[in-house]
Amino acid sequence: MSWINRLKEKWKVKNSGQFALILIVFALTGSTVLIIKRPIVDYFTIDGEKSTIFNVIYLICILPIYNIILLFYGSLLGQFDFFWNYEKKMINRFRRKKGRQKNKK
């Protein structure tokens, strides 16, 4: 079974067209994040030199922005339902991991 068929099955995608649109949304989102990263880095750093703390803060801040952009492009290309469900699954994964950490203490 090819990786495409495995992803289609995992994501419960109906056809190859929908699968292609989903991949396009991921590509557009990633490209957009790369485009907006440069001005952010230039604004908050001196000569583009990034410290470790900057990288940590950037990653924490970019996650919600990435998710919003993902939903935006998903809705533009008619795949909002898929990406809304994708976001809900991701949020649930974070909640479960956070709950496990509290139980270990």
Instruction: Supply the pLDDT for residue 104.
Output: 60
Nearest to 67 by CA among 43, 24, 32: 32
Instruction: Supply the pLDDT for residue 20.
Output: 95
Q: For residue 73, with 0-12 CB atoms within 10 Å meaning exposed, 13-18 middle and 19 or more buried, which class applies?
A: buried
- The model's pLDDT over 25-74, given as tens digits with 9 standing for 90+, comes to 999 999 999 998 888 877 777 776 777 887 888 888 888 999 999 999 99
Question: Which residue did the predictor score with more confidence, 102 or 92?
Answer: 92
What sign results for the dihedral spanned by CA atoms 10, 14, 20, 25? negative
Q: What is the mean pLDDT of the chain?
A: 87
Q: 11 falls in which pLDDT band (50, 70, 90)?
A: very high
Instruction: Supply the pLDDT for residue 40.
Output: 80
Q: Is the pLDDT of residue 87 over 80?
A: yes
